[in-house]
Structure 1
Amino acid sequence: MVTTERLYSGMQPSADSLQAGNYIGALLPWRRMQAEYDAFFSVVDLHAITVPQDPAELREKTRRTAAQYIAAGIEPSKSTLYVQSHVKAHTELAWILSTITGFGEAGRMTQFKDKSQRFGESATSVGLFTYPVLMAADILLYQTDVVPVGDDQKQHVELTRDLAERFNARFGKTFVVPKPVIAAEAARIYDLQNPTSKMSKSAESHAGVLWLLDDVSVTAKKIMRAVTDSDGVVRYDREAKPGVANLMTIYGALTGSTHAAIEDEFAGRGYGDFKKAVRDAVVAEFEPVRAKALELLDDPAELDRVLAVNAGKAEEVAERTLTDVRDRIGLLRRG
């Protein structure tokens, strides 16, 4: 049953295909949550341009990401699914919030520190520095109650809460102060070849990444070649058996089985049988999603129409918030 509470979340269009970690860690929970909340889901393309992008590729990746949202069960008739840059209020509110954000608190954001150290000062943009302020605008525009995020984004939601409370204290009650919902450990998916690192589009090798839009034969081979250990026992132990634990997490997420049930199911059976079961579960889950996404991408005009309709719905909510913000901070209305 849908509550009156509002939910907001989004992902960057930073790859041609989403991967298993995106699907299990974000899309599956989103699909459940859209039945419980007034849900807003965005393809956050403005966040993607904090690092260099090829323009044509960015447009294509944005469509492909939106198509995969829909194919995975995010229904535009139930949720407001739109492209971030289609709602101009995001950037205007981000600028306003940046004027109440301390330079020091923005500089303390862990992701910025990590990326700026990795890329070097000359390759680090001001946009990357203010990324968390734009994320705060994304959330606060929609008077969001609940924000599902991973551990790596929790700090950004805490900054959002701080900015909402600061604005409310200075200018009067304007924003809902959102609550983060942190993804469970069970939703964290690791690289099949390096199971101590999260599965990621930025992995040095894609041999351990399960892409949602890969051909099923490629997906099947990657699972059968996944790193395990010499123990031969299907048992969940994240520290001692990271490869097996990762495959158990994937299998459990797609079948609804607990770790204990998986251990019982494969007691006395080798890793070969276990990997085949994981393979079959992943292929059964991914193939209809892949087929639907490719079907949507075959008609980009219709996909663009759906996104435009939803952007209009998002814009109505966002503009109400932004009008209130402008009035409260003293900006003169246009006559």
Structure 2
Amino acid sequence: MEKMLTGIRSTGSPHLGNILSVIIPSVSIANKSTKHSSFIFIADLHSMIHIENIKTIKNNTYEIAAAWLAFGLNIDNCLFYRQSDVSLVTELAWYFNCFYPYKRLVLAHAFKKEMKEIDHGKISVGLFTYPILMAADILLYNAEIIPVGKDQLQHIEIARRIANYFNKKIGKKLFVIPNAFLQKKNMFVLGTDGKKMSKSKKNCIDIFSSDEILKKQIMGIRTDNKSVEEKKNPETDYIMLLYSLIAPLDKIEIMKEKYRKGGYGYYEAKIALYEYIIHKFSYERKKFFSLMKKKSFLDHILALGAKKAKNIAQERLNCIRKHLKFNSIN
């Protein structure tokens, strides 16, 4: 069984895009894997590039942990931990920082995009070196498959370059070359405005919000100005595209036919999407709200995972230190 590793930043409860593209496929892989072959972490260190309030990050961490468990993650089968609890990863990131070319990192798509959208005075070094810490997350455990969204593909390529560089420099296969794992169906989940679903764009559908907020989010999905009576194109409508990601084929075809015939309004389509989300994720929502009342239990689960991950990380880092001519750590 190949080693799988993935993580989600603790920027709040996972939205529908996170769930479809990362959580559901990762849980499926992890629950079928052998022990210690799946690593799932909450990337609270990564979250600091956008959130300065540590209390907010901590609460968000609970929401992420509760979401993973609500979707059935078997913690006996994988290492489930908080990134900051295994701080050895930051040491490896520093080594990578010292060897990876500055010019290559400047070309990172995500960084260039942030440069256009954020006041340059507010861009931190952490934002710039984000891909390096991500590479350390992956390479510290010699992970082989990384479930990611399409926007993270370049970061996986950076991790691959770093692994290849070190292997060549040392003359030994010290790092496994990781590969991205994409769910083709869900590799790009649209937000309510038709752009990629993202908390920073405030275009999310949050299935773990209250019924009232969830309904408001869905009612905010952008549509054209066609009247109820007019025929509509189900292939380009955002409501229909989201519905197609979660509903069974027969229900999808029924809704598409209503679009083509006319006499079916966008309000009705939004209500159908809302009701199906409530139905489809009813168990997960109930489990999530229950777990959020048991934060000491979540802390316990994450601490157990961190202890196991730390043992593996320390052994790996000692091996890396040996090749860099540093002393081992106890």
TM bin, normalised by shorter chain, reads 0.7 to 0.9
Three-state SS of the structure 2 residue aligned to 1:111 is helix
Equivalences for residues 156-305 of structure 1 within 5 A: 156-171=155-170, 172-184=172-184, 186-192=186-192, 194-195=193-194, 197-203=195-201, 206=202, 208-224=203-219, 226-229=221-224, 230=226, 232-233=230-231, 235-237=233-235, 241=236, 244=237, 246-257=238-249, 263=256, 268=261, 270-271=264-265, 273-305=268-300
Change (3 A) 1:261 1:180: farther
- Match in the other structure for 1:132: 131
- Match in the other structure for 2:64: 65
> Is 1:29 the equivalent of 2:25?
yes
Q: Higher mean Cα deviation, 117-126 or 92-101?
A: 117-126
TM-score (norm 1): 0.86
Q: 1:52 Cα deviation (Å)?
A: 4.3
CA contact (8 A) 2:314 2:329 kept: no
The superposition leaves residues 216-254 of structure 1 with CA deviations (integer Å, 9 ceiling, x where unpaired) of 2332344355333327546442xxx2xx2x333332332
Change (3 A) 1:27 1:87: same
- Match in the other structure for 2:11: 14
Q: In structure 2, what residue type is equivalent to 1:179?
A: N
Three-state SS of the structure 2 residue aligned to 1:40 is strand
Q: 1:264 Cα deviation (Å)?
A: 5.0
> Is 1:39 the equivalent of 2:33?
no
Change (3 A) 1:264 1:33: farther
CA contact (8 A) 2:3 2:145 kept: yes
> Is 1:314 the equivalent of 2:313?
no
Three-state SS of the structure 2 residue aligned to 1:295 is helix
Equivalences for residues 140-159 of structure 1 within 5 A: 140-159=139-158
Equivalent pairs counted in the alignment come to: 320
- Match in the other structure for 1:55: 54
Q: 1:36 Cα deviation (Å)?
A: 4.2
The superposition leaves residues 261-292 of structure 1 with CA deviations (integer Å, 9 ceiling, x where unpaired) of 75358764624554333222101133332221
In the aligned structure 2, how far is the partner of 1:278 from the partner of 1:125?
39
Q: Higher mean Cα deviation, 60-69 or 120-129?
A: 120-129
- Alignment RMSD: 2.4
In the aligned structure 2, how far is the partner of 1:113 from the partner of 1:224?
32
Q: 1:72 Cα deviation (Å)?
A: 2.2
In the aligned structure 1, how far is the partner of 2:317 from the partner of 2:156?
20
CA contact (8 A) 2:156 2:180 kept: yes
Q: 1:13 Cα deviation (Å)?
A: 0.7
- Identity level (%): 27
In the aligned structure 2, how far is the partner of 1:79 from the partner of 1:23?
18
Q: 1:25 Cα deviation (Å)?
A: 2.1
In the aligned structure 2, how far is the partner of 1:39 from the partner of 1:84?
15
CA contact (8 A) 1:8 1:147 kept: yes
Structure 2: segments with no counterpart, 5+ residues: none
CA contact (8 A) 1:216 1:287 kept: no
Q: Higher mean Cα deviation, 68-77 or 166-175?
A: 68-77
Q: 1:155 Cα deviation (Å)?
A: 0.8
Q: 1:24 Cα deviation (Å)?
A: 1.8
- Match in the other structure for 1:116: 115
Structure 1: segments with no counterpart, 5+ residues: none
Three-state SS of the structure 2 residue aligned to 1:180 is strand
In the aligned structure 2, how far is the partner of 1:42 from the partner of 1:147?
12
Q: Higher mean Cα deviation, 32-41 or 300-309?
A: 32-41
Change (3 A) 1:234 1:141: farther
In the aligned structure 1, how far is the partner of 2:200 from the partner of 2:67?
19
- Match in the other structure for 2:87: 88
